[in-house]
């Protein structure tokens, strides 16, 4: 059995761990509130831009010179998978869930004989996917240096992706990230970024605002608007994904750290019990020694 001193050391070390996890939980809770707020603030923009595109796309489908970002370039051979994860660990299964979703996608796509390229955002996803799919990774970005998420980050990522598409490096682009449902639940999802038309069919039945019979005027023309709007839609979707991820990471971290704190508490209780038992046993045995010594006299 461990000595009293050993037990004491263990108790104090678990107590220190508990302090750390408790502090991390509180930090995560504070950050979660901010992240949730940011995600909510960004929502109107994303919703509006989506409905505008839906609206415009309807009139552009079937037109010969529809932009490739909207309808695709006619091929589906090479798929660029943009996987957004967190840069830090200690947040439960958050990163693992996203990576698992990404792996499912990769396996499914490769099963169909397609080439998969990976564009990774976030260090944790890179660490996990690098082991299995090292040769598929074409780009990796870490956002560790950014203190606060802003639209500029998403813009530069979006521009990189659009540029790659224009250079013909891939045909279809999918974005894998974690959708923030609530603090306990985050769903890893994958959305199609390019062609934009695929994501419209998938999710929204929104047919745009009711115009009461009036006809939209476009300034400049529809094609001109779409040309500016489509890259921006990609940026917005990436930005939304990053924000959702951030909120999810913090929520997941909060839950994980809450569990860790509780486990540490349980462990302290158990160790304290053993410590007291050992101490009492020691006192009892000392007493027996003294008494039997006195009787022998």
Residues that bind another protein (CB under 8 A): 38, 41-42, 44-46, 48-49, 52, 56, 150-151, 154, 209-212, 214-220, 224-225, 228-229, 232, 235-236, 239
Other residues' Cβ atoms within 10 Å of the Cβ of residue 207: 10
Q: How far is the CB of 270 from another protein (least distance, A)?
A: 48
201 versus 218: smaller Cβ distance to another protein: 218
Question: Do residues 131 and 104 lie in contact, with contact meaning Cβ atoms separated by under 8 Å?
Answer: no
154 versus 254: smaller Cβ distance to another protein: 154
Catalytic residue among 35, 91, 173, 247: 91
Three-state SS for 88? coil
Question: Do residues 120 and 83 lie in contact, with contact meaning Cβ atoms separated by under 8 Å?
Answer: yes
Map tokens 């639209």 to a residue. Answer: 151
Residue-wise DSSP of 21-63 = HHHHHHHHHHHHHHHHHHHHHHHHHHHHHHHHHHHHHHHHTT-
The set of residues, in sequence order, having a beta carbon less than 8 Å from that of 236 and lying 6+ positions away, is 45, 46, 49, 154
**CA distance linking residue 246 with residue 123, whole number of Å:** 14
131 versus 212: smaller Cβ distance to another protein: 212
Q: How far is the CB of 217 from another protein (least distance, A)?
A: 5
Map tokens 């508990």 to a residue. Answer: 18
134 versus 148: smaller Cβ distance to another protein: 148
Map tokens 């038992």 to a residue. Answer: 277
Strands (E), 85-152: 115-121, 137-141
Q: Catalytic site residue 173?
A: no
Peptide bond into 195 cis (omega under 30): yes
Q: How far is the CB of 36 from another protein (least distance, A)?
A: 13
Q: How far is the CB of 221 from another protein (least distance, A)?
A: 10
Q: How far is the CB of 214 from another protein (least distance, A)?
A: 5
74 versus 220: smaller Cβ distance to another protein: 220
Other residues' Cβ atoms within 10 Å of the Cβ of residue 264: 19
172 versus 234: smaller Cβ distance to another protein: 234
Cα dihedral across residues 64, 68, 73, 76: positive or negative: negative
Q: How far is the CB of 150 from another protein (least distance, A)?
A: 7
The catalytic site residues sit at 91
């Amino acid at each position: 059995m461990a000595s009293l001193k050993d037990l004491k050391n263990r108790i104090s070390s678990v107590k220190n761990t508990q302090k750390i996890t408790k502090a991390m939980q509180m930090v995560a809770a504070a950050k979660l509130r901010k992240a949730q707020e940011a995600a909510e603030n960004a929502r109107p923009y994303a919703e509006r831009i989506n409905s505008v595109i839906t609206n415009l796309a309807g009139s552009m489908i079937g037109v010969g010179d529809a932009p490739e970002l909207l309808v695709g370039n006619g091929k589906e051979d090479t798929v660029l998978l943009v996987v957004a994860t967190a840069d830090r660990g200690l947040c439960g299964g958050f990163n693992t869930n996203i990576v698992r979703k990404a792996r499912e996608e990769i396996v499914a796509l490769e099963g169909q004989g397609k080439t998969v390229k990976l564009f990774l955002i976030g260090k944790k996803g890179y660490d996990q996917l690098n082991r299995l799919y090292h040769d598929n990774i074409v780009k990796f970005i870490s956002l560790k240096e950014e203190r606060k998420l802003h639209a500029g980050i998403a813009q530069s990522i979006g521009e990189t992706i659009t540029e790659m598409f224009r250079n013909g490096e891939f045909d279809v682009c999918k974005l894998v990230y974690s959708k923030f449902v609530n603090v306990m639940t985050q769903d890893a999802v994958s959305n199609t970024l390019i062609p934009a038309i695929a994501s419209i069919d998938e999710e929204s039945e929104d047919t745009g605002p009711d115009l009461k019979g009036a006809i939209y005027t476009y300034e400049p023309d529809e094609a001109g608007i779409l040309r500016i709007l489509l890259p921006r839609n990609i940026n917005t979707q990436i930005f939304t994904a990053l924000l959702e991820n951030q909120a999810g990471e913090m929520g997941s971290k909060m839950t994980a750290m809450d569990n860790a704190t509780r486990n540490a508490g349980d462990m302290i209780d158990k160790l304290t019990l053993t410590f007291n038992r050992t101490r009492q046993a020691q006192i009892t045995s000392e007493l027996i020694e003294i008494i039997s010594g006195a009787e022998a006299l």
